Chains A and B, each alone.
Chain A
């Protein structure tokens, strides 16, 4: 809502408050003023002039030489280049010394040898908004109405000495979509009176021939029709044009302008019909038929449905109620007989139709947010009076009206105790009464209880809490004291799952990874690129109306998003990337959701390029399988997960068939790790990339919280190294398992410290070296014991894996 400061000052005394001060006060009490704009874009010393004579410039075909009376005592000779300048016009004249928007200074000058003592201005040169001007005012000089007073300051004549306050209204304050509504608000804030316009309709015509019938009683509660004859359609007076333009509305003609003016003033959308186009002057308010067509004022043919509320006569539609009038009954320059509609349509009806048809007029905005039912007739009468005044029409006797139901003001009871408890204040009954008085809410007071009858303009107030807010904002939020909740103390703490999440995040960061956050909505065709951890036949969960294919389906794996992150970085020459993400995936087996999908938190990492930055010590280390495995191992260690096993898996979507392992603890699958399939790397345009992905719920189940420490050993350990030669395809895990089983409890730790293939052993063999540490908790081990155990280990290795000691 754009509010003209000058216009507003007609309803409330603003003589001692600047537009900027007013804006601050409004904002602080709940009506946010987004901007305060002076209408004057930099015009000074421009006056209304009268073109007494116009002759052609002696030496230039396109220039005119005008003699202009600008009220300066002597007539001015002004050279003008506009083709539309003519003798007898009133025009804005920039005098010598005038300033115009854009830094233009007017000086005495000669144009092709003829002296020019000023400039006749176009609308654009005065900084007026093109879009708000009639077409014939957009080109050439601005021709002013004949009644413009010569010598008058054009800034005030054009209403440019005004300020426009643009309100950013919250949906509950539709009352401030009108000047009078804003006036009530301002009056309440300032503690002043509201001066409403005086309405004087003279019924000087014949009997009102209009009849009104409401058929759609659930959609229209009231319809009032005024009838006029002998109207003369002209342009509106300048003061009205100024106000409409200040509000951002383009003046059209005196009748249409009045409907817009009163809509701005009362918040009541109105419509005027050419009465001769309405069959039998009879108005029917009904729902349209499916497929019924109507050409609207913007010359578009609209196809309506059975939910569209239509204003019609007995044979055809005339207007889409609350949205737009029809072209068939439009007010034209020839119109003399008029029907003026003031009605109340239900917000839902107008909103639905506006949405269906994709139309959102100023009227729609007001209908959707709610129009004051109690002011329909008053607004109609105000418009009738103005039409009479501006068009010279005779007003027919009587008002045609149909009423389905009357608006009932809300009655709300509130106590002082409730107010003070809810706000933490210690207001007195007198404080509260004074605030209700300022708001012009009528009430009955019984001690410290008020029964408030809320004016219908404030449809947002229906509950005691709504009154509490009114009291609070007029008392001033700043004046509410500061305290802390005084109830029972509570313990704030993280749950185990929340702690676990933090542990994971902090661990991976400490290990050198960067945390990333990617989008949950992914490309419809990318969603299944790399496996998730689900075992169900997960169906894609798609948006009903995606904004783009790129973000149209909910992810089922974190890896595709991380691959995109790596690709994004690669495109920016960041070739070494190590990132992880903690986030939800979304799973369902339903083709079409009927219940919420399962959300599971995953943690995933993706690494590519060099793990360590280039350095002089030659310690460069390209990311590889064993790095992600090491990172995964350290994460499991941090979480107290012991005994994890890695099972090769060759059929995970998007993963390298020979370089991927699932991570298990007992019967529990925690996740997987490995290299992205080279074909997928190519699809994402990324280099060799390694990933892991774990399910947090599984990690949480497997994780063991910190327990007691083990006492430090009192007896020495004995270390034996075994170098084994074994077939290449024997997995290290098999060797380890054989060793552990044979070595029994004396084996304290087992470390694989070397793997060798090459010239010094047979081509189909590899050498694997282990370091075994033995220790007895209660005594020093004897050599022969160690030898016995070692021999058993070697035997077991040979028997189970075919491994031989390397000589």
Chain B
């Protein structure tokens, strides 16, 4: 009996080891451990054993059962492992194939610049003011100290619709409109982005339609040093923490004193290069202290308050910042151009 047990154990273990799948393993389990299995059969034969042999054989049977069950469990686990491995192997993908396309839209470069500038000035406590693109001569010129026969009107040939109505040539009329609306209250702190129009033939550097951003601060005690400070803060946020600016005297009818503002060339850092025409500086905006007549006409007393204003061309900044060589790209909307502004 003991011999038979040993033989059965050997045979069973060998068969378990060779079982190829879960089904075979189950068959073997029935064959050996089932209700009518071989081990059960053997146990039934225990009755014929002597009382001395019984406990010995009994113990042996238990040992064999335990060994077989362990073998079954091990084999079961091994088979599951193998099946999983096979399944995973069959699921392998070519991870280098392209992904399912998801369209990626882009913001127009001019909008990007505008939003960036808006956010900087919002952070500095400015509001965003807007005005009409079709303007009266009164707001576009006269309220800005440009009476009808002023020679500076030559500087900007305009698209007139009637004698008194034109496409605005600058965003500055928004200054006058805002001040009138504020009715003498201070402080006024606005920037004003928008489209403007001038009689220019469209070419690589001219566009009959373009975009400006204007800024205006009016309050008690505003000085030119404040203009410098605000513009320096803006330049550093927009173009880098180490930026320097430089002011040069200039002329605008609506400011006095007036200044052109240069930015240290961001292409060469001020050493001189093609972008800055070897000067190390790039002209970026016009500015100045609000002309007393402009304040007066808009209902502010130049003895009581003062202010500064500045204006810049969005296309120019975009062209410098992104290296765009032809201003017409902004308005022809070639998707190969637009798609490139897909980051951040």
Q: In the complex, which residues of chain A have a beta carbon less than 8 angstroms from the beta carbon of B108?
A: 514-517
What is the bound-complex CA distance between A170 and B106, given in angstroms? 40
- On whether the beta carbons of B134 and A554 are closer than 8 Å, the reply is yes
Chain B nearest Cβ from A681, distance in angstroms:
18
B223 within 8 A of A: yes
Interface bracket on A: 35 or more
B292 partner, pick from A369, A465, A592, beta carbons under 8 A: A465
Chain B nearest Cβ from A580, distance in angstroms:
8
- On whether the beta carbons of A472 and B331 are closer than 8 Å, the reply is no
B159 within 8 A of A: yes
Q: In the complex, which residues of chain B have a beta carbon less than 8 angstroms from the beta carbon of A583?
A: 195
Q: In the complex, which residues of chain B have a beta carbon less than 8 angstroms from the beta carbon of A482?
A: 225, 228-229, 232
What is the bound-complex CA distance between A82 and B105, given in angstroms? 70
- On whether the beta carbons of A515 and B259 are closer than 8 Å, the reply is no
Chain A nearest Cβ from B218, distance in angstroms:
10
What is the bound-complex CA distance between A578 and B333, given in angstroms? 11
A643 within 8 A of B: no
Q: Which of A589-605 contact B (CB under 8 A)?
A: 592-594, 596-597, 599
B76 within 8 A of A: no
Chain B nearest Cβ from A708, distance in angstroms:
28
Chain A nearest Cβ from B114, distance in angstroms:
10
Chain A nearest Cβ from B156, distance in angstroms:
11
Chain B nearest Cβ from A68, distance in angstroms:
43
Q: In the complex, which residues of chain B have a beta carbon less than 8 angstroms from the beta carbon of A572?
A: 334, 336
Q: Which of A398-445 contact B (CB under 8 A)?
A: 421-425
Instruction: Name the prevailing secondary structure of the B interface residues.
Output: mixed
Binds B, one of A153-161, A192-200, A485-493, A753-761: A485-493
A256 within 8 A of B: no
What does the 1/0 interface line of B305-344 toward A look like (CB < 8 Å)? 0100000000000000000000000111111101100000
Q: In the complex, which residues of chain A have a beta carbon less than 8 angstroms from the beta carbon of B233?
A: 484
Q: In the complex, which residues of chain B have a beta carbon less than 8 angstroms from the beta carbon of A492?
A: 121-127, 189
- On whether the beta carbons of A515 and B106 are closer than 8 Å, the reply is yes
Q: Which residue on A lies nearest to B139, using beta carbons?
A: A596
Number of A-B residue pairs, CB cutoff 8 Å, is 259
Q: In the complex, which residues of chain A have a beta carbon less than 8 angstroms from the beta carbon of B132?
A: 596, 599
B289 within 8 A of A: yes
Q: In the complex, which residues of chain B have a beta carbon less than 8 angstroms from the beta carbon of A546?
A: 159
- On whether the beta carbons of B223 and A593 are closer than 8 Å, the reply is no
What is the bound-complex CA distance between A478 and B261, given in angstroms? 11
- On whether the beta carbons of B162 and A593 are closer than 8 Å, the reply is yes
Chain B nearest Cβ from A225, distance in angstroms:
29
B positions within 8 Å CB-CB of A: 97-98, 100-108, 110-111, 115, 118, 121-128, 132-136, 149-152, 154-155, 159-162, 165, 167, 186-187, 189, 195, 197, 199, 201, 208-209, 217, 219-226, 228-230, 232-233, 246-251, 256-259, 289, 291-293, 302, 306, 330-336, 338-339
A positions within 8 Å CB-CB of B: 27-30, 32, 170-173, 347-348, 351, 368-369, 421-425, 463-466, 468-469, 472-473, 477-478, 480-495, 498, 502, 505-506, 508-521, 541-547, 551, 554, 565, 568-569, 572, 574, 576-579, 583-584, 586, 592-594, 596-597, 599, 611-613, 615-617, 619
Top 7 nearest A-B pairs by Cβ distance? A512-B103, A424-B225, A30-B249, A424-B223, A170-B251, A469-B257, A492-B122
13 more A-B residue pairs beyond the given contacts A172-B152, A509-B105, A520-B133, with a C-beta to C-beta distance below 8 A: A171-B251, A487-B221, A489-B125, A514-B105, A514-B108, A515-B111, A519-B209, A545-B159, A551-B208, A565-B333, A577-B335, A578-B105, A596-B134
